[in-house]
Amino acid sequence: MHVEVEENFDVKNLTSFKIGGKIKKVYFPKSIEEFVQVCSCEKKFEVLGNFSNTLVSSDGFDGVVIITSKMNNIITDKNSIYADCGIKGPKLAQIAQKHGLSGFEFMIGFPGSLGGNIYMNASANGQCISDKLVKVKCFSQEKGVFDLKKDDMKFSYRTSICQKEKIYVLGAEFLLDEKSPEEIKNKMEENLEFRKKHQPSLALPNCGSVFRNPEGNSAGKLLEESGAKNISSGNVKVWENHANFIVNNKNGTSEDVLNVIYNMYVKVKEKFGIELKPEVKYLGNKNKREAELCKILNIK
């Protein structure tokens, strides 16, 4: 079995931030079998889908990354859908809509892959990835390939068991609601319109919301009231229309992004005494300043 592999891979254009240097070795498995084969060959690796909430170091990464974007098999059976981890949210939403199946409308504007959405229990517009989930096909170095039922995933706000243990999502099965394709399409269009008004388009490189909402509060509101919209570093700045988003205007660096996140964090902490938790993950080498900021912000 031959698995596609690249060395010294320039990842910048794959990331939502359009930031990142070269990765030492990157695998592109197309199936679960190929994924398992890579894991049997490599002792240490990172697994990523669409790099939608990952900040990759401008200095690159000296390790191994498995990119699951080519694992995109889908099986539909009546109101059941199985999808591999690499399929993007919008494509999954569109396929469900064509089959008259409701439950994925919220993903129509998501840049992320299914695996990432399950990993962080993504949600929007009153829907959540775990709502219609039946079971997840997983992989760990200790157990190999195995299934976890919805209750075993330990879902809560922006978290799952995958963040607590070294468990990787390979695919998932969902049981959706039957509705007319037209009704589902209308809901998807409403969600896209809402997203246009409240979030930057992907034409402006960004990684989605920067901070999680504190319990009973809104990170965006706290950032707005603390004056965070004026923060910038190099070619990276807080988006003028919503204070919980950062955009890379052009040629921003990973250090620029971390500087902006840190200054946003400080603004809210000084004004409200609340320590916001970043949703952004970091991959790669760190210079001295980046290491300091990641430690303060608890970005891993």
DSSP states of 86-104: TSBHHHHHHHHHHTTEES-
Q: What is the pLDDT of residue 157?
A: 87
Residue 137 is assigned to a structural domain of this protein: yes
Residue located via tokens 């970091």: 282
Residue 40 is assigned to a structural domain of this protein: yes
Q: What is the pLDDT of residue 52?
A: 86
Q: Measured between alpha carbons, how far is 263 from 267 in angstroms, rounded to an integer?
A: 6
Specify whether 107 is located in the same domain as 89.
yes
Q: What is the pLDDT of residue 292?
A: 98
CATH at residue 20: 3.30.43.10
Number of compact structural domains in the chain:
3
How many CB atoms neighbour CB 176 within 10 A? 20
**Residue 129 near residue 123, CB atoms below 8 Å:** yes
Residue located via tokens 């190099």: 234
At 18, which amino acid appears? K
Residue 252 is assigned to a structural domain of this protein: yes
Q: Which residues lie across from 138 on neighbouring strands?
A: 146, 169
Instruction: Write down which residue in 45, 67, 89 finishes a domain.
Output: 67
- Please identify every residue annotated as catalytic: 158, 209, 279
Helix-helix angle 254-272:288-297, to 10 degrees: 40
Give the closest residue to 105 by CA, choosing from 120, 86, 119, 122. Answer: 122
**Residue 107 near residue 101, CB atoms below 8 Å:** no
Read off the pTM: 0.93
Give the structural domain span for 166: 74-198
Specify whether 14 is located in the same domain as 96.
no
Q: Measured between alpha carbons, how far is 179 from 174 in angstroms, rounded to an integer?
A: 15
Q: What is the mean pLDDT of each run of 10 residues along the chain (300 residues)?
A: 93 95 98 96 93 94 97 95 96 96 93 92 90 97 96 93 94 97 96 89 88 94 96 96 94 97 98 96 97 96
Residue located via tokens 């859908």: 81
For strand 168-175 and strand 144-149, is the pairing parallel, antiparallel, or unpaired?
unpaired
